Structures are given as C-alpha cells and as structure tokens.
Structure 1
Amino acid sequence: MTINILILCTHNSARSVLAEGMLNHLAKKLGRDVRAFSAGSAPSGRLNPFALEALSEAGVDISGYRSKSWDEFTTPEAPPLSVVITVCDSAAAEQCPVFFGAPSAQGQPVKVHWGYPDPSNAEGGDEGKRRAFELTRQAIAYRMLQLLALPLERMDRAACQAALAEIGRS
C-alpha cells in the first residue's frame, strides 16, 4: 500500500516543492512505496525557478510540477494521506498552513512540522539564492532519507508521530 505524504507551505513555490521532489526522487531510488505531494494554503501559482534549478541539478525529474492548493487534497478523489508535513519556518513568524483534510480509511494523517528558512529571502543576489536553495534542498533530503528509513507501513500512528517529530528535531 502506497504511503502518501503531503508537504505544505503557504505559497507552494519553493520549500514544499523541494521536499516533494526530493522525497519522490529518493523513494524511487530506494524502492520504497512512498509518494509525495505538495500544496499550499495560498498557492502563488508559480514555482520558484531556483527551486526547480536545485532539483534539476540533483537529478530530480521536475516535469509536471505546479503550484497547487491544498483544497485538491480534501476531496473524495484525493489520495488517502498518511502524513502531512509543514515546512514553513515558524521561527521567522511565517504563517504556516494548518491542514484539516478529509480523513482516510486510516483516520486523520499524522501531522508534523519541519521548518526551514525561506531560501527566497537569501542575500547575495542570484548566486546567494542559488546557494541557499541548494543548502535547503540538502537539508530537506537529509530528513527525507531519515523518513524513508522508517518502517512506515508497519508503524502505528503514535510511533509514526514520535519518529517524525524526532526527525524534525535533528
């Protein structure tokens, strides 16, 4: 059974897209039946070109990516979600979306926050932004590898919540 994971950030243009791309890329490489999606509470309608560049340079297929609303994941046709991860940096007083979503057969998804500073705010012109996006992509990839090392398909809700919260603290 596929483990569906939704990654949220307000505008769904940078961090959530990096996380979706890295999780799908790494899951495929590792042969894990995990599928990532990303969305936002107020999607910008466009993807940050630096995010796409960082993913592409890491070997991630970025075809078909788009900025989308979390509303797409609250319908009966939406994939049943096991996990919802928010990636906005709450330390920067950024408004991060709260997802209520439709419950799946397994109940409400496990929810966890893994904050990352917004690389779009990096100083140093385009080169500074490229560096910030690459560092954010690497940090996200590190956590996604930890997530993929978990036996998600065999974990109960409490164990999954605890393990994912621990990854967020690392």
Structure 2
Amino acid sequence: MSNAITNDNNPIINVLVLCTGNSARSVMGEATLNKFGAGKIKAFSAGSKPSGMINTHVKRLLDQKGYDTALYRSKSWDEFAGDDVPKMDIVVTVCDNAVGETCPYWPGSPIRAHCGFADPATQTGSDDEIMAKTETIYEAVEAFSKALVEIPFGTLSQEELQQRITTIADQSQMHDR
C-alpha cells in the first residue's frame, strides 16, 4: 500500500509539536516523542509566542526522568516555516491557545491534529503540589506520544493516518484540573 508520509528515502516521520509559549507541554511532547519514537519519529517543538525559557517545573521533571534538557529551548514556530528546514509530516497543537491561531505554511501539507493538555505553567499550590500536577500532565503527554509511535505509518494512507492521529488525540486530551 502506498503511504502518504514515508518513503524509502526518508523513513523518519517529522513531528512538530506546537503550543503558544513552547515552555512546557510542547517541550514534553518533543522529549517523549523523541525518546519513544527513536529511529521512527523525529520531533520538534515550537510556539506562536515563545516564552523564551522552559518552565522550571517541566525542566526539573525532565531532568529527574533522565532527559538531556540542554537539548530543549523555547523557540518560535517561524524557525520551522522556511524552505531549508525539515519537512513536517505531522503538526500537533497541544494547548487550547494554539488551536485557533493561524499556523504558518508547512511545506508538504502535513497531517494536523489537536491534543489539549493542562498547562503546567498555570498550576497552583506548593512546589510539591505543582510538581505532582506536572507529573500527571507529563504522564498524559507520554501516553499520547507512545500511542502515536505505535501507528504503522508505512501501511496507512494519508486519510487513514489523519483519522488514526485524530482519534488518538481526541482520546488523549486532558484539561486543567
């Protein structure tokens, strides 16, 4: 079966995870997709209005889980809109603020999906309570990433991929608690 996003020359699926500030959820998405999708998926993250820094609770959590947080930074989605950047196969928004925003043109007309997660940056309470809430959000992002990695990309059409990714995103959504 011909598939829409992989070919013999580029078996890696490029995924761009978008959020407004690119400081928490999108960074967790990039980190987990790269960890669980190694050799199959290459993830990137960006924001429409980048905050300029990774959320301190997210950075601490990723450090505790063994991620090399030096690899992550808050950056604009403009960095991925040019001709000399990797072609994005899938673009996922992970926060409600990014859903209605106009995304820049992505060469190749990628599959698009929205999977909203609660925002670690808006959590309140003691430091321990915020870390516990951030861990819960991380677990939801991780589950979404693992489900995405399990998709048999090489066997599905563009329409089937869109449907599968939309279903996973719809089932993975998490709202502020």
| Other structure's SS at 2:70 match | coil
Aligned residues: 160
**The residue matched to 1:162 in structure 2 has which SS?**
helix
TM-score by length of 2: 0.85
Length-normalised TM-score, structure 1:
0.88
Aligned counterparts of 1:38 and 1:4: Cα–Cα separation in 2: 11
> Which of 101, 104, 107 is the equivalent residue of 1:100?
104
Aligned to 1:20: 30
CA contact (8 A) 1:15 1:87 kept: yes
TM-superposed CA distance for 1:49, in Å, is 1.3
Which residue pairs with 1:109 in the alignment? 110
Q: Residue 82 of structure 2 aligns to a residue in which SS?
A: coil
Q: Please state how far the C-alpha of 1:98 moved relative to its aligned partner.
A: 3.4
1:73 aligned residue: 80
Gaps of 5+ in 1: none
Q: Give the AA of the match of 2:31.
A: G
Question: Is the contact between residue 8 and residue 87 of structure 1 (CA under 8 Å) also seen in structure 2?
Answer: yes
Aligned to 2:6: none
Alignment of 1:81-160 (within 5 A): 81-88=88-95, 90=96, 94-96=97-99, 97-103=101-107, 107-160=108-161
Amino acid at match of 1:100: P
Once superposed, what is the RMSD of the aligned Cα atoms?
A: 1.4
Deviates more, 1:70-79 or 1:146-155: 146-155
What does the per-residue CA deviation read over 1:80-99, in whole Å, with 9 as the maximum and x for residues that have no partner? 110000000x3xxx354432
Q: In structure 1, how many angstroms separate the alpha carbons of the residues matched to 2:57 and 2:63?
A: 10
Give 1:9 deviation, angstroms: 0.2
One of 12, 15, 35 as aligned partner of 2:42: 35
Call closer, same or farther: CA 1:38–1:123 in 2, change over 3 Å. Answer: same
Query: Structure 2 CA distance, aligned partners of 1:87 and 1:27?
Result: 18
Once the two structures are TM-superposed, the CA of residue 64 in structure 1 deviates from its matched residue by 2.2
- Which SS does the other structure have where 1:63 is aligned? helix
Q: Give the match's secondary structure for 1:140.
A: helix
Question: What percentage of aligned pairs have identical amino acids?
Answer: 36
Q: CA deviation at 1:112?
A: 0.2
Contact 1:86 1:114 in 2 (8 A): yes
In structure 2, distance between residues paired with 1:130 and 1:16 = 17
